[in-house]
Homo-oligomer: A and B are copies of this chain.
Amino acid sequence: MKALVKEAAGPGFVLKNVPVPTIRDDEVLIKVRRAGVCGTDVHIYEWDDWARGRVKPPIVVGHEFAGDVVEGRCLLCRTGNAHVCPFTRIIGVDRDGCFAEYIAMPAVNVWHLDANVSYDIGGIHDPMGNAFHTALTADIPGSTVLVTGCGPIGIFAVGICKAAGASRIIASDVNDRRLALARSMGAHDVVHPGEAEAAVKAVTDGLGVDVVLEMSGVPSAIHQAFALVRVGGRVQMLGIPAKPMEVNFATEVIFKGITIYGVVGRRMYDTWHQMTRFLRSGEFDPTPVITHRFPLEQADEAMHVIKSGEAGKVIFEIA
């Protein structure tokens, strides 16, 4: 094919025949139709100081273009649907998962852990990520926070709010073991749902909390979230209600001027980066949330203890 080539260290380009590129598994071959000429190309053409220090001839030049994909092994890219690709192959759901001695992962999905982060903590980055995303997409420093529901993600969220400077954290759950874990992660007040309103009113001049993290999915907790958040506050909804429920949007949402954020998953690299920084600071330690450990051989026992409602986070020790 024809190509404009920077052949050697000196001014100018040469138009010459070169082989059509071969592609790797993760590349596509594109027939170029139009290409823009940028000031950067002029620098390379002129062979100025910057070009001399950066470009290694021989090389085909140009970086602005449009064309047709003529060969590519990735179906999604050929159909212009690359953007939905990440959502369709969840490990352990849609492709082989990690309850095994080895797993193959796309390199781009690997997140490198600091040397001092244990495998235990590494192994729970996924649910901690949900907790970080839920907490830190609200404005936590200085805020008063109500956490309704103290399963593992709710308890992580308590610790994150504590490390991020929440001025008051009220954690609510029906289970006293979980409340004890929430207390150990930094909750100032731990209450049963029936006591939440009084606790919130007492520490917010009766105005309600700045932020509610709704981690239970229980309808009465969702109504409590709307009732106990202050005017103009924010409700983060992570807990998933099992079925439709009745809501008074006028009094529960609109007249209060609140924002509701439906939390699904987490931001890929932004959230991992946030977690890494919190773990480094030493002010957030999720270790107490891990209450049970099993080998793969005891999968049934692991399922059983989760279903009992008494567990914090349960993990497999594999190697």
Shortest C-beta distance, A207 to chain B (Å), equals 9
User: CB-nearest residue of chain B relative to A166?
Assistant: B281
Given contacts A40-B93, A93-B44, A142-B164, are A102 and B62 in contact (CB under 8 A)?
no
CB of A10 within 8 A of chain B? no
The minimal Cβ–Cβ distance linking A58 to chain B, given in whole angstroms, is 9
Which residues, 163 to 208 on A, are CB-close (under 8 Å) to B? 163-168
Encode contact with B along A49-62: 1 for CB under 8 Å, 0 otherwise: 00000111001111
User: A163: nearest residue on chain B (CB-CB)?
Assistant: B165
In the complex formed, the residue of B with least CB distance to A307 is: B42
Taking a contact as CB atoms under 8 Å apart, the answer to whether A99 and B4 are in contact is: yes
Contact code string A83-112 (vs B, CB < 8 Å = 1, else 0): 100000011111111111111111110101
Q: Which residues of B contact A31 (CB under 8 A)?
A: 101-102, 319
The 8 closest A-B pairs by CB, nearest first: A66-B122, A80-B112, A34-B123, A3-B100, A62-B99, A167-B281, A4-B99, A1-B101
Structural contact, B104 and A21, CB atoms closer than 8 A: yes
A120 and B33 CA atoms in complex are apart in Å by 8
Docked complex Cα distance between A44 and B303 (Å): 11
A253 lies within 8 A of chain B by Cβ: yes
Residues of chain B within 8 A of A110, CB atoms compared: 28, 30, 69, 72, 77, 82
- Distance A183 CA – B83 CA, assembled complex (angstroms): 33
CB within 8 A of A32: which of B59, B64, B101, B255?
A: B101
User: A39–B151 Cα gap in the complex (Å)?
Assistant: 10
Q: Is A248 among interface residues, defined by CB-CB distance under 8 A?
A: yes
A8 at the interface (CB under 8 A from B): no
Q: Cβ of A97: which chain B residues have Cβ within 8 Å of it?
A: 59-63
Asked whether, in the complex, the Cβ of A29 is within 8 Å of the Cβ of B122, the reply is no
**Extra 7 A-B pairs, beta carbons < 8 Å, given A164-B165, A237-B249, A256-B264:** A37-B314, A44-B92, A67-B318, A108-B108, A241-B250, A243-B248, A257-B265
**Do the beta carbons of A65 and B103 come within 8 Å of each other?**
yes
Contacts known (A66-B122, A237-B253); A18 close to B100, Cβ less than 8 A: yes
